[in-house]
Homo-oligomer: A and B are copies of this chain.
Amino acid sequence: MFILHDNTESGNAYKARLLLSQLGLPFKTIQYDVTKGETRTAEYLSNINENGRIPVVQFEDGRCLAESNAILYYFAVGTDLFPEDKWHQAEVMKWLFFEQYSHEPFVAVAKYILTMLPEDSPRRAEIPSLHEKGYIALQIMENRLAAHDYLVEDRYSIADIALFAYTHKAAMGGFDLSTFPAILAWFRRIEQTPGFVAMYPEDWRKS
């Protein structure tokens, strides 16, 4: 059975939980508190991920795969969650790299600062800039989803999983999604896909 090196608060880790659940692949999780440096111990850096991050999938033979979107690729290739033709595959890739470069560093970091750091953290000064850049990413998603049910080819794919993870918790980072109706409707569609599991089990359908 796979081990998912995991953190409940991480949207990046949730991507892996959601995909593995939807593919019906059983896995165990080991939880880490990143605010306590638990992914930066010498043992973790040596044995799990020298980049000191979660999520990591560890296989029974000990091999480890880091980077949330590489994990999505590995498990989705050959399933309905990754397109067959090269052009649509490239469009999935476009959204995965967009997510890691133009979305997560703003939408996820705002959530981290507002929910994981003390209220008097000096990092709160970053919030206006994070919101400015995060709203640009959200508007790009809204433009796409206003005309299409999903991000690529009107079919649910790992592009949707990657972007759903932090977008559906953007309010925790102080983002107001009320002017993004297409994104909100897309949340509802994703929540109805087979095998869907909530990021926080207790708030199913309350996002």
Interface set of A (CB-CB < 8 Å, partner B): 50-51, 63, 65-71, 73-74, 77-78, 86-87, 89-91, 93-94, 96-98, 100-102, 104-105, 136, 140, 143
State the oligomeric state as a number of copies: 2
On whether the beta carbons of B94 and A50 are closer than 8 Å, the reply is no
A104-B102 Cα distance, complex, nearest whole Å = 13
On whether the beta carbons of B70 and A86 are closer than 8 Å, the reply is no
Report B-chain residues with C-beta under 8 Å of the C-beta of A73: 89-90, 93
Which one of B65, B77, B94 lies within 8 Å of A66 (CB-CB)? B94
Top 7 A-B residue pairs of the complex, sorted by shortest distance between their CB atoms: A70-B93, A74-B90, A67-B97, A70-B94, A67-B94, A73-B93, A100-B101
A86-B74 Cα distance, complex, nearest whole Å = 7
Report B-chain residues with C-beta under 8 Å of the C-beta of A65: 90-91, 94
A91-B65 Cα distance, complex, nearest whole Å = 7
Provide 24 A-B residue pairs closer than 8 Å at the C-beta atoms, listed in order of the A residue: A50-B140, A51-B140, A63-B87, A65-B90, A67-B93, A67-B97, A67-B101, A69-B93, A69-B97, A70-B90, A70-B91, A70-B93, A70-B96, A70-B97, A71-B90, A73-B90, A74-B86, A77-B86, A77-B89, A97-B97, A97-B100, A100-B100, A101-B101, A101-B104
Nearest CB of chain B from residue A57's CB, rounded to whole Å:
9
Chain B minimum-CB-distance residue to A90: B74
Given contacts A50-B143, A98-B67, A140-B51, contact A93 B105 (CB under 8 A): no
Report B-chain residues with C-beta under 8 Å of the C-beta of A86: 74, 77-78
Report B-chain residues with C-beta under 8 Å of the C-beta of A96: 70, 97
Chain B minimum-CB-distance residue to A64: B94
Report B-chain residues with C-beta under 8 Å of the C-beta of A71: 90
A105-B91 Cα distance, complex, nearest whole Å = 22
Report B-chain residues with C-beta under 8 Å of the C-beta of A101: 67, 100-101, 104-105
A73-B89 Cα distance, complex, nearest whole Å = 9
